[in-house]
Amino acid sequence: MRTSDFDYNLPPELIAQEPAAQRDGCRLLVMNRTTGALEDRIFRDIADYLRPGDLLVANETRVMPARLLGTKRGTGGAAEVFLLREMPAHEAKTDKSALWEVLVRPGKRLKPGTGAVVDFSDANGNVALSAEIVDWVENAEKGERLARLTTSLPSLDEALHAVGHAPLPPYIKNYAGDEELYQTVYSRRESSAAAPTAGLHFTPELIERLREQGVRWETVELEVGLDTFRIVDEDDPEQHTIHTERYTVPERTVSAIAETHECGGRVIAVGTTSVRSLESAWDAEAGTVTPREREATSLYLLPGSEFHVVDALVTNFHVPRSTLMMLVSAFSTRENIMAAYAHAIEERYRLLSFGDAMFIA
């Protein structure tokens, strides 16, 4: 097995640069997990493939306004700070101040120990938030730093929403539309640097229609990191170290999974992040899924991996040579997935985060 086995020619013109006009009006490529047989449908037609007693499990995380564009204090030079994760509780944390792990640009001018501060202004031109670069992150691979965020507003949350932007993937250029379209309609707590994009196709009306059809709906939470877009550089994918993310599988979802399997229904993951959450929560010794609360997972699913919980998968089309290509290949077969992608490209599907969807069952 080589990383090149999960490569394909991605036509740039097929990378969707904006969402579909209607969330559930995008295209849906239905693939038989075993045979690889394909059908071309519309996303809302997924109802035709779900049965009473099936369970959909979606990642309800919400994308943070993590991209901050500002100016370096003292010089006025343009600077960018990208929020990765808030550090665990520390003495300096208040409603108006907290320590975050961040990426910065330009890196050479925003080094710890130099007194570097970046100011961010609201729509009225008033400085609403500042980030002081205070330290390096230990064992950082990409120049991550620690920044102390402070605000003059009543809370950091208010400040972030006054100056921050949803961080779109790097392959989406110049999107100036409604950032809410990069959020799922069921998203809740802001904790991710990227959207769980398979869920973008669901509407409240479609979810309600599926419930009336006898399909259950439950959620997990996985805090999606930037590394979800990372391409595997190693020739041998087993030498790649996958990123670590925090996830939650609540008791109600655990119970729903058990009831679904007892009644012969299918557990259908909405997105690869839901797959990683559910399979990470599998307790091999107990032979069941167990509740988890913001635990860390670095689960890496490659061809040959076993799936103990998930029976079917709703997913988008993924970047070549990514761990996500490997995950969907593990769920079916590499040959089936590559044939499906070739078909999607030939039929001019819209690809990646704002693009069309697959249902693998």
User: CA-CA distance, 45 to 28, in Å (whole number)?
Assistant: 8
Average pLDDT over residues 203-210: 98
Backbone region of residue 205 per phi and psi (left: phi > 0; alpha: psi in -120 to 50; beta: other values): alpha
Q: Which two tokens stand for residue 51?
A: 């049965």
The mean pLDDT value of the chain amounts to 95
User: CA-CA distance, 58 to 283, in Å (whole number)?
Assistant: 20
Return the higher-pLDDT residue of 139 and 250: 250
User: CA-CA distance, 277 to 90, in Å (whole number)?
Assistant: 27
pLDDT above 70 covers what percent of the chain? Answer: 99
H-run or E-run covering 149: strand 145-151
Longest dimension (CA), the chain: 65
Q: Are 83 and 134 in contact (CB under 8 A)?
A: no
Query: Residue 140: is its pLDDT beyond 80?
Result: no
If one counts every other C-beta atom within 10 angstroms of the C-beta of residue 142, the result is: 11
If one counts every other C-beta atom within 10 angstroms of the C-beta of residue 34, the result is: 10
User: CA-CA distance, 216 to 207, in Å (whole number)?
Assistant: 9
Query: Residue 294: is its pLDDT beyond 70?
Result: yes
Q: What is the pLDDT of residue 89?
A: 67
Q: Are 361 and 313 in contact (CB under 8 A)?
A: yes
Q: What is the pLDDT of residue 86?
A: 87
pLDDT grade for 348, boundaries at 50, 70 and 90:
very high
Query: Residue 202: is its pLDDT beyond 70?
Result: yes
104: Cβ–Cβ under 8 A, 6 or more apart, which residues? 79, 80, 81, 82, 110, 118, 133, 143, 145, 147
pLDDT grade for 91, boundaries at 50, 70 and 90:
low
Q: Which of 174, 224, 161, 229 is nearest to 195 (CA)?
A: 224
| Residues 246, 314, 242, 160, CA torsion sign | negative
134: Cβ–Cβ under 8 A, 6 or more apart, which residues? 99, 112, 145, 146, 147, 148
Q: List the beta bridge partners of residue 287.
A: none
What amino acid is encoded at 143 in this protein? Answer: G
pLDDT grade for 241, boundaries at 50, 70 and 90:
confident
At residue 258, the 3 state secondary structure works out as: helix
pLDDT grade for 92, boundaries at 50, 70 and 90:
low
Residue spans of alpha helices (H) in 222-285: 251-262, 272-280
pLDDT (tens digit per residue) in 300-311:
999 999 999 999
Determine if the pTM surpasses 0.85: yes
pLDDT (tens digit per residue) in 106-122:
999 999 999 999 999 99
Q: Are 63 and 192 in contact (CB under 8 A)?
A: yes
Rg of the chain, C-alpha, whole Å: 21
User: CA-CA distance, 23 to 46, in Å (whole number)?
Assistant: 13
Where is average pLDDT lowest: 20-29, 84-93, 345-354?
Answer: 84-93
217: Cβ–Cβ under 8 A, 6 or more apart, which residues? 55, 56, 58, 207, 210, 211
Q: Which two tokens stand for residue 69?
A: 């564009």
- Which domains, from first to last, does the chain contain? 3-63+178-360 (3.40.1780.10), 67-165 (2.40.10.240)
Return the higher-pLDDT residue of 250 and 88: 250
Calculate the dihedral angle through the C-alpha atoms of 273, 312, 251, 222, rounding to the nearest 10 degrees.
0
Q: Are 226 and 142 in contact (CB under 8 A)?
A: no
